[in-house]
Amino acid sequence: MEYEAVIGLEVHVELKTNAKAFCSCTTAFGGEPNTHVCPVCLGLPGVLPVINRRVVEFGLKTALALNCQVATFCKFDRKNYYYPDLPKNYQISQYDLPLARGGHLTITVDGIERVIGITRVHMEEDAGKLIHVDGPDGGYSLVDYNRTGVPLLEIVSEPDLRSPAEARAYMEKLRTILQYLDVSDCKMEEGSLRCDANVSVRPRGSRTFGTKTEVKNLNSFRSLQRALEYEIERQVAILESGGRVEQATMAWDENRGVTYVMRTKEEAQDYRYFPDPDLVPLEIDAAWIERVRRELPELPDARCLRLIEDYGLPAYDAGVITSSRDLADYFDRVVALYPDAKTVSNWIMGDFLRLLNAGNLEPQQSPVPPEELADLLQLQKEGTISGKIAKQVLEEMFATGKGARQVVEEKGLVQISDEAALTRIVEEVLAANPGVVEDYRNGKDKALGFLVGQVMKATKGKANPGLVNRLLKERL
């Protein structure tokens, strides 16, 4: 039988506010353990949490960008559980009246566009970090509460995703939108963007859902995709051997490449949600929503469309360039100076991104500013350097931070377009390769390429290729 997967994602994103959600401690990442704490986030007796306005603002921005219906009235609830990552024994969250519901975003996988529903967006606080230490009597744990109380948004998708690749595309699209909104660093490796997946399988075409498991600890796009692939395969194998999938919470073990059971349905958590009496409700009026809507930046889909319509870029190029707001900004700045958008796009998607990735850099950290890339393209267009040399120059610019013209001058890379000088070299090459010349005259067109290569070699790649071709053909 053929099976299909049904996947929904719960994404947690840390908001990049200055202060925590309910107190004034800094949200700065890192820091010595327990140095970003106060009586409120430590849950000491007699304190009162007060919501940081910017948390609500960021929540609204996100909700609107995800096409959600914003609640006119919402409140905070206590989610009760005993685990030392929360000093209060409850997490401030939102239960039955979340900030927003009913949105969607669009993903494209293998050229097929799909709209993925978003169930809800709610605000809550992050928990602390535990380090487990082995030792006698079962060992102990050390707790750092610096992260406790950092604002989070939880964004829950509908079970609309049908494959690990779609789940990954959803997660990447969501990250792109959050980056455009500038509400989070979205660093999966630092835990500012995290993901849990609900997954079940069913016979293809079936309308009912199978029993689902929840997979936790997906700390990268790769883990998300691998864990889902593994878990789907595991569930299908159980069904095919006549078994039943047990409802459970699983964790992904990145090193072993397997999911394992953390707890089963019998041990399911009972969070006993109730309204937090320490926090008063929020009323969000139409004027507030409108103000936030007006302040929304151009979002990835709109920007992608603009690149296609204004510059005539292929959809693929526009998609790659707008996948990062910084990259799209970089592109815009180069095109402003060098208006051949397709050439700019080819360079950015090719050598520029390759060199950035090799240096593990973000576009805004590029040692080559947009003005210098535009200058390099200009040098190539003027014929001062060849395309091949331009690639070398870009590498040198990345390595040294020097400008395009400076590198070309220092390294003596100016293209040789002097016809007399090239004619001499062309004639030497022809004289040295009589066999190849004979081949060409007998109809082997490829022989020309070899001869061009020899001229390039003799000039260290600096010969003007168009001129070399003409000079060779005139003599053959």
- The residue range among 76-84, 221-229, 252-260, 322-330 that interacts with other proteins, by the rule CB under 8 A, is 76-84
CA distance 76 to 70: 15
Q: Which is nearer to other proteins, 25 or 408 (CB)?
A: 25
The least distance separating other proteins from the CB of residue 78, rounded to whole angstroms, comes to 13
Minimal CA–CA distance to 116: which of 224, 241, 238, 8? Answer: 8
Report in angstroms the alpha-carbon separations of 412 from 114, 380, 384, 426.
Answer: 52, 15, 11, 21
CA distance 169 to 190: 20
Strand 213-218 to 248-253 pairing: parallel
Q: Which is nearer to other proteins, 117 or 275 (CB)?
A: 275
Q: Which is nearer to other proteins, 205 or 277 (CB)?
A: 277
Q: Which of 139, 387, 435, 443 binds other proteins (CB under 8 A)?
A: 139
The least distance separating other proteins from the CB of residue 216, rounded to whole angstroms, comes to 13
Q: Which of 18, 69, 264, 364 binds other proteins (CB under 8 A)?
A: 18
The least distance separating other proteins from the CB of residue 223, rounded to whole angstroms, comes to 20
Q: Which of 69, 72, 115, 140 binds other proteins (CB under 8 A)?
A: 140
Question: Which token pair is 183?
Answer: 């509400």
225 touches 164 (CB < 8 A)? yes
Q: Which is nearer to other proteins, 295 or 438 (CB)?
A: 295
Number of chain residues interacting with other proteins (CB under 8 A): 54
DSSP string, 180-211: HHT-----GGGTSEEEEEEEEEEETT--S---
CA distance 170 to 159: 12
Q: Which is nearer to other proteins, 57 or 301 (CB)?
A: 57
Residue 239 as a binder of other proteins (CB under 8 A): the answer is no
Q: Which of 17, 93, 192, 384 binds other proteins (CB under 8 A)?
A: 17
Q: Which is nearer to other proteins, 40 or 161 (CB)?
A: 40
The CA-to-CA distance between both ends of the chain, in Å, stands at: 66
Residue 19 as a binder of other proteins (CB under 8 A): the answer is yes
Phi, psi of 261 (to 5 degrees): -75, 125
Residue 216 as a binder of other proteins (CB under 8 A): the answer is no
Q: Which is nearer to other proteins, 252 or 440 (CB)?
A: 252
CA distance 332 to 370: 9
CA distance 396 to 372: 12
Length reported for the chain:
476
Cβ atoms < 10 Å from Cβ of 341: 20
- Contact string 143-162 vs other proteins (x = CB under 8 A): xxx-----------------
The least distance separating other proteins from the CB of residue 144, rounded to whole angstroms, comes to 5
422 touches 468 (CB < 8 A)? yes
Considering only residues 270 to 309 of the shown chain, the ones binding other proteins according to CB under 8 A are 270, 272, 275, 277, 279-283
Phi, psi of 42 (to 5 degrees): -85, -5
Residue 402 as a binder of other proteins (CB under 8 A): the answer is no
Minimal CA–CA distance to 40: which of 93, 95, 75, 86? Answer: 86
Q: Which is nearer to other proteins, 239 or 279 (CB)?
A: 279
Considering only residues 82 to 101 of the shown chain, the ones binding other proteins according to CB under 8 A are 82-84, 97
Minimal CA–CA distance to 377: which of 330, 344, 410, 354? Answer: 344
Phi, psi of 47 (to 5 degrees): -95, 160
Q: Which is nearer to other proteins, 18 or 400 (CB)?
A: 18
Helix (H, G, I), strand (E, B) or coil at 433: coil
Residue 132 as a binder of other proteins (CB under 8 A): the answer is yes
Q: Which of 9, 52, 147, 463 binds other proteins (CB under 8 A)?
A: 52
Cβ atoms < 10 Å from Cβ of 411: 15
Q: Which is nearer to other proteins, 288 or 450 (CB)?
A: 288
Considering only residues 55 to 74 of the shown chain, the ones binding other proteins according to CB under 8 A are 55-56, 73
211 touches 246 (CB < 8 A)? yes
29 touches 231 (CB < 8 A)? no
Residue 264 as a binder of other proteins (CB under 8 A): the answer is no
Q: Which of 115, 142, 268, 358 binds other proteins (CB under 8 A)?
A: 142
Considering only residues 21 to 50 of the shown chain, the ones binding other proteins according to CB under 8 A are 23-28, 32-39, 41-42, 44, 50
Q: Which is nearer to other proteins, 283 or 419 (CB)?
A: 283
CA distance 400 to 301: 36
Helix H segments across 184-299? Answer: 221-240, 286-295
- The residue range among 19-27, 324-332, 403-411, 463-471 that interacts with other proteins, by the rule CB under 8 A, is 19-27
Residue 53 as a binder of other proteins (CB under 8 A): the answer is yes
The least distance separating other proteins from the CB of residue 69, rounded to whole angstroms, comes to 19
- The residue range among 81-89, 111-119, 161-169, 381-389 that interacts with other proteins, by the rule CB under 8 A, is 81-89
Footprint of other proteins on this chain (CB under 8 A)? Answer: 17-19, 23-28, 32-39, 41-42, 44, 50-56, 73, 75, 80, 82-84, 97, 131-133, 138-145, 270, 272, 275, 277, 279-283
